[in-house]
Amino acid sequence: MLLRRASLGVLLVLLCSGHSALAEDVHWSLSTSINYSSGDYGTGRDTALFYIPFTLGVAPTDRLRLSLTIPYIEQDSQTVVVTSSGVAVRKGKERELATSPRSVTRSESGVGDVLLKGQYVLLEEKAIIPEVSPYLKVKFPTADEDRGLGTGEFDETLGIDVSKSLFERLVAYLTLAYTFVGSPPGESFADSFGWSVGAAYLLTNTLTVFSFLDGATAISPGQADPLEIRFGAEYRLTKAWKLTGSVGKGLSDGSPDFDLSAGVAFRF
C-alpha cells in the first residue's frame, strides 16, 4: 500500500510538472498495435491471446514523457492471466484443467488493465555517455478478474532504459525493470525482475531493423522463467506516421511459443 501511494505520488508529480512545462513545442502521440501470441506456458493447454493497446502519449519537454494505455484483450483459456510484467499461470485454474476443462477453456474478451507511465531522461547521450531514462509504470486493475482478463490488483514497475549509438547507424539498448506484482485471492504471485537487450540498425532513412532478447523471473510458483527473442522492423511513412512489425519466438516454457505484432503510431 505504501509503495502504491508513493508510485502514484511520483506519477502525480510528473504529471503536474509536465502540465506546468507545457509549451508550443509539446509533442503528442497516438499509437496502437495488434499483438497475437500462442503457447501453453507449461500448463499443457495452449492459450491464444490477442492484446490490442491504445496509447496516448505526451512529451511536454525534451526530457519528460508521459503515456496512458487502455488495452483490449481476447483470450481462449483461463489458465493464464496478463500482468504488467508478462503472462502468469493461474495455478488454481491449472488444477481445474484436469477435472473440469470446460471451466478453464472458455473464451473471454474485454477491456484490460489501464497503464500509466512516466519517464524522465536523466542523462542525455554524449560522446561516451549513454542516454539513461528511468521510468515508473502503474497498472490499474480495470480488467474483469472474474473473467480472467486481469488479476484485480495493482502492479507497480520501476525501470530504466539505457541506449547508446555505437556507430552512425547502429544503436544498442538495455532495459532493466522490477515489478511489484499484486496477488489476487487464491494465488501467490511473486515480484518479477525483467531485462531486455538488443540493437537497432538504420538500413535507410526510413527503414530500421531491430532484434531483442527479453527475459524475466517467473511470476507464478513452478513457472519457468520467460525468455524470448524478437526480430522486427520500423518503417517511417512520413515525419508523423510510422509502422512497426515484429515476430517473436519463445525460448522457454515461461514464454509463448511464438508471437506476432503489427502497429502504427502518429505524432502531432
Residue range 2-44, pLDDT digits in tens: 555 555 555 555 555 555 545 457 899 999 999 999 999 988 8
Q: Is the pLDDT of residue 268 over 60?
A: yes
Mean pLDDT over residues 254-261, rounded? Answer: 97
Mean pLDDT over residues 156-179, rounded? Answer: 97
Q: Could you tell me where the beta strands, DSSP code E, fall in 84-150?
A: 86-89, 108-111, 114-120, 131-140
CA distance 66 to 73: 23
Q: Is the pLDDT of residue 98 over 70?
A: no
pLDDT computed for residue 106 by the predictor: 81
Q: Could you tell me where the beta strands, DSSP code E, fall in 47-113?
A: 47-59, 64-75, 80-83, 86-89, 108-111
Q: Is the pLDDT of residue 154 over 80?
A: yes
Q: Is the pLDDT of residue 99 over 90?
A: no
Query: Lowest-pLDDT range, 28-42, 103-117, 237-251?
Result: 103-117
- pLDDT band at residue 264, thresholds of 50, 70 and 90? very high
pLDDT computed for residue 102 by the predictor: 66
Mean pLDDT over residues 136-151, rounded? Answer: 94
If you write DSSP's letter for every residue of 216-228 in order, what string do you get?
Answer: E--SSTTPPPPEE
Instruction: Map out the domains of the chain with their CATH numbers.
Output: 2-267 (2.40.160.40)
Higher pLDDT, 120 or 95: 120
Residue-averaged pLDDT of the chain: 90
Beta-bridge partners for 158: 136, 178
pLDDT computed for residue 44 by the predictor: 84
Residue range 41-89, pLDDT digits in tens: 988 889 999 999 999 999 999 999 999 999 999 999 888 899 988 999 8
Residues 13 and 136 sit within 8 Å (Cβ to Cβ): no
Q: Which among 196, 207, 204, 202 is positioned nearest to 167, based on CA atoms?
A: 202
Q: Is the pLDDT of residue 97 over 80?
A: no
Mean pLDDT over residues 251-267, rounded? Answer: 97
pLDDT computed for residue 93 by the predictor: 72
Mean pLDDT over residues 159-186, rounded? Answer: 95
CA distance 90 to 78: 8
Higher pLDDT, 77 or 216: 216
Mean pLDDT over residues 222-231, rounded? Answer: 96
- pLDDT band at residue 231, thresholds of 50, 70 and 90? very high
pLDDT computed for residue 186 by the predictor: 84
